Amino acid sequence: MTKKRILIVDDEPSITQLLRLNLEKTGQYTIRAQNDAEAVMGALQEFKPDLILLDVMMPGMDGGTLAGKIHATRAFKNVPIIFLTAAVRQEELDARNGVIGGFPYIAKPLNVKGVISIIEKYLPESVSA
Amino acid sequence: MSSETTNILVVEDEKVFAELVRDIVTDEGRGQYAVTVVADLATATAQLVAGRFDLVLLDLTLPDRQGLETYQAIHQSAPLVPVLVLSGVSDEEVALQALRAGAQDYLLKNEFDGRLLARAIRYAIERKAVETRLRESEEFFRLISENVTDLISVVDENGKRLYNSPSYQAVLGQGDELTGSNSFAEIHPEDLAVIQGVFREVVTTGKGQRAEYRFVRNDGAVRHVESQSSVIRDDTGTPRKVVVVSRDVTERLAAEKELRQALAEVKRAHEQLQAAQRKLVQSEKLEAVSTFAAGVAHEVKNPLQTVVLGIDYLRDYVVTNDANAADLLQQMSDAVKRADAIVQGLLEFSAYRKGAVSDQDLGQLFEQALASLESELTAQAIRVRADYATSLPRLRLDPRALKHVLINLLATEINGCPPGSEFYVRTYLRAPAAGPNGKSTVVAEIEARHPAAAEAAVIISEKPAGGTPDDFGIMVSRKIIELYGGKVECQRQRTKRRFTISFQT
């Protein structure tokens, strides 16, 4: 079974590292952590993720802008992006079925179980099958 | 008529007596008297109307008029010319009547001599001149007193009215009928004792005074007046009369009162405005606190996320081997939930979002932040010297969020500096570093100094041993500025402390 490739972009190394450890431990995912938003486009070309976890607020780079840029690139326009945010409450997200402006969100802090259930919800069928 | 010649008209129908008078008058006058003799009233009045005479010697019994009527006819023809009546013993009574009617004097024909006549003529002319001058001056003052709007009143030393100008009619509703009445009668009962005291003092000392009081009219209306009194003394120098010139100031006082009320209203409105402004500044500060709180919430959530993920990761390892450790992890997990709830509350309070960005001038944001902190600056006696660069490149920022960060940073500086410090605030554009990708940087600096710091008399800042709330605030502010692509640097030395905020363009 092919492991699903997940790119995690967050300026906080402790978060990317712990997400990576927790997700890799399940044996279901291949993870690449990226703390520098500027280098994300390069990492995409190289890693070709099936799904991206993307922090909304990063110094010098707006997660929304970055997402727009990713989806504007032909090769990645169908790669699901899940935003990580510290500015929205989980209750607010639940009320909107986890989606704001067409994008799924994860409200920090969320435990591994919660993160995995959201990832699984948005992974493309062909890959998860 | 020359100034030396006195023209005398003799009206006498007895020819012999008329000539006698002419002779006497001519002799006595030593050429100064020019005499005209007529024998009847008709000729006499015609002469008086046509010519200019200085005196009339008049026999009351003429062929065409007799008695007092003769005098009256002459007087009507020339009211200003003095008349000396020539009278027989039989009509002395009529002569007296003529005297009361205005004739200067009368001479009995049988007691007549030159010197007596000459003296009577001189006196009559002189007296008439004085009388005329007096009447003219009386007329003059009457005209004044009747035409001024001020109230002119003359009272005796007991306050009894001797004269009141017609203007009293307008104020008291009474005019002429006031004469003889008590001038205190219309004074307001509350002012009466004071005014009576003032009046007694004026009469006793002879020194006029100013006073303000109220009149109560017959119809009950109250008028406010302002008076100035002065005394008229008799020959011995004793004050006998008091002249009071008053002015009705009711309207003026009412206008003044309205003005005062209007002023009070303006003042009140101004105070309300100031209060509103203070509230606005206060709410701005609240909002700054709110932005700050949002920053705290945001910054705490990331470490919480790390802890949550850490607990999840560790759980699999410890649960099987160590029940205590599993329990501990559960407690940690619960603690994180509580912390998250608190942070969530902060976030809700602040309702923080990265706001709408627009092109902003950093210097202007500084100015606004400093304006919000004016009272704090004043309280700490901190003087601000600002030097904002003109035409700095605009920055894409949420102006509210940035302003609130600046308020927090500045408030930290204000609280951290000794009173009497000076803030040097400046903005400038730093040239790009060498290289193809060099960008210029918009920089804002706040440097706090103290005049006494150079002599080490005052320590501006000591490096804190551990973390302080201020440092925490700075950390949060720094994070918010970083969200907009900026940088915060903080220097603290014994003699100065400095903040630098910079944004690459």
Residues from chain B that touch A14, judged by Cβ atoms under 8 A, are 302-303, 306
For the entire predicted model, the pTM comes to 0.40
Q: Do A87 and B336 touch (CB under 8 A)?
A: no
The residue-averaged pLDDT of B117-128 equals 83
CB contact at 8 A, B92 and B68: no
Q: Do B336 and A109 touch (CB under 8 A)?
A: yes
Q: Do A60 and B303 touch (CB under 8 A)?
A: no
**Comparing C-alpha atoms, which of B335, B339, B347, B355 is closest to residue B298?**
B347
pLDDT in tens, B428-457: 988 887 766 778 889 998 888 887 765 554
Of A82-96, B345-359, B472-486, give the lowest mean pLDDT range: B345-359
pLDDT in tens, B190-237: 999 999 999 999 999 999 999 999 999 888 889 999 999 999 998 888
Asked if the model's pLDDT at residue B350 lies above 70, the reply is: no
Pairing of strands A57-58, A61-62: antiparallel
Q: What does the alpha-carbon distance between residue B496 and residue B381 come to, in Å, rounded to a whole number?
A: 17
Q: Do A111 and B308 touch (CB under 8 A)?
A: yes
Task: Locate the chain A residue with the closest alpha carbon to B293.
Answer: A87
Tell me the HSE value of B38 on the side-chain side, using a 13 A CA sphere: 19
Check if B353 contacts A (Cβ < 8 Å): yes
Of A19, A25, A86, the CB nearest to B298: A86
Residue to mutate among A21, A61, A100, A111, with most B CBs inside 10 A, is: A111
Give me the residues of A, 65-124, that contact B with CB < 8 A.
Answer: 86-87, 89, 108-113
Q: What does the alpha-carbon distance between residue B173 and residue B151 come to, in Å, rounded to a whole number?
A: 13
What pLDDT was estimated at residue A128? 42
**Mean pLDDT per 10-residue run, chain A (129 residues)?**
90 89 91 90 92 86 84 90 82 75 84 91 67
Whole-number mean pLDDT of chain B?
82
Helix H or strand E segment including A58? strand A57-58
ipTM > 0.95 (yes/no): no
Across the A:B interface, residue pairs with CB atoms under 8 Å apart total 68
Q: Do A89 and B308 touch (CB under 8 A)?
A: no
Asked if the model's pLDDT at residue B18 lies above 90, the reply is: no
CB contact at 8 A, B34 and B52: no
Instruction: Give A62→chain B minimum CA distance, Å.
Output: 8
DSSP B389: P
Give me the residues of B, 82-111, that contact A with CB < 8 A.
Answer: none
Check if B344 contacts A (Cβ < 8 Å): yes
Q: What does the alpha-carbon distance between residue B251 and residue B410 come to, in Å, rounded to a whole number?
A: 56
Alpha helices in B55-91 (DSSP H): 68-77
Of B306, B312, B340, the CB nearest to A14: B306
Q: What does the alpha-carbon distance between residue B443 and residue B365 come to, in Å, rounded to a whole number?
A: 13
Q: What does the alpha-carbon distance between residue B116 and residue B28 come to, in Å, rounded to a whole number?
A: 10
Check if B297 contacts A (Cβ < 8 Å): yes
Largest CA distance in chain A: 38
CB proximity list for B308: less than 8 A, separation 6 or greater: A109, A110, A111, B333, B336
Check if A12 contacts B (Cβ < 8 Å): yes
The residue-averaged pLDDT of B241-270 equals 84
DSSP B182: B
pLDDT in tens, B234-250: 888 888 999 999 988 88
Of A21, A25, A108, the CB nearest to B304: A108
Check if B348 contacts A (Cβ < 8 Å): yes
Q: What does the alpha-carbon distance between residue A61 and residue A63 come to, in Å, rounded to a whole number?
A: 6
**Comparing C-alpha atoms, which of B146, B64, B57 is closest to residue B109?**
B57
What pLDDT was estimated at residue B296? 74
Q: How many residues does chain B have?
A: 505
Residues from chain B that touch A59, judged by Cβ atoms under 8 A, are 482-483, 485
pLDDT in tens, B273-287: 777 666 666 666 666
CA torsion sign, B393 to B397 to B400 to B401? negative
Instruction: Give B446→chain A minimum CA distance, Å.
Output: 23
pLDDT in tens, B37-83: 999 999 999 999 888 888 999 998 899 988 899 999 999 988 888 89
Q: What does the alpha-carbon distance between residue B462 and residue A128 come to, in Å, rounded to a whole number?
A: 59
Phi, psi at B438, each rounded to 5°: -60, 135
CB contact at 8 A, B291 and B299: no
Q: Do A109 and B305 touch (CB under 8 A)?
A: yes
Q: What does the alpha-carbon distance between residue B465 and residue B32 come to, in Å, rounded to a whole number?
A: 125
Taking each continuous run of H as one helix and of E as one strand, the counts in chain A are 6, 8
Helix H or strand E segment including B493? none
Question: Using CA atoms in the order B357, B362, B364, B366, what is the torsion angle rounded to 10 degrees?
Answer: 110
Residue B238: CB atoms within 10 A of its CB come to 11
Of A22, A62, A108, the CB nearest to B302: A108
CB contact at 8 A, B107 and B117: yes
Asked if the model's pLDDT at residue B321 lies above 70, the reply is: no
Please, what are the domains in chain B?
6-141 (3.40.50.2300), 148-248 (3.30.450.20), 252-350 (1.20.58), 358-504 (3.30.565.10)
* Contacts made by residues B112-116, CB under 8 angstroms, sequence distance 24+: B113/B24, B114/B24, B114/B27, B114/B28, B115/B28
Of B309, B347, B348, the CB nearest to A19: B309
Residue B50: CB atoms within 10 A of its CB come to 9
What pLDDT was estimated at residue B470? 52
What pLDDT was estimated at residue B465? 38
The residue-averaged pLDDT of B487-498 equals 79
Task: Locate the chain A residue with the closest alpha carbon to B397.
Answer: A60
Instruction: Give B301→chain A minimum CA distance, Å.
Output: 6
Q: Which residue has tokens 């003087």?
A: B383
User: What tokens were used for B372?
Assistant: 């919000």
Residues from chain A that touch B307, judged by Cβ atoms under 8 A, are 109
Check if A18 contacts B (Cβ < 8 Å): yes
Phi, psi at B186, each rounded to 5°: -95, 0
pLDDT in tens, B400-432: 778 878 887 888 788 778 888 888 999 998 888
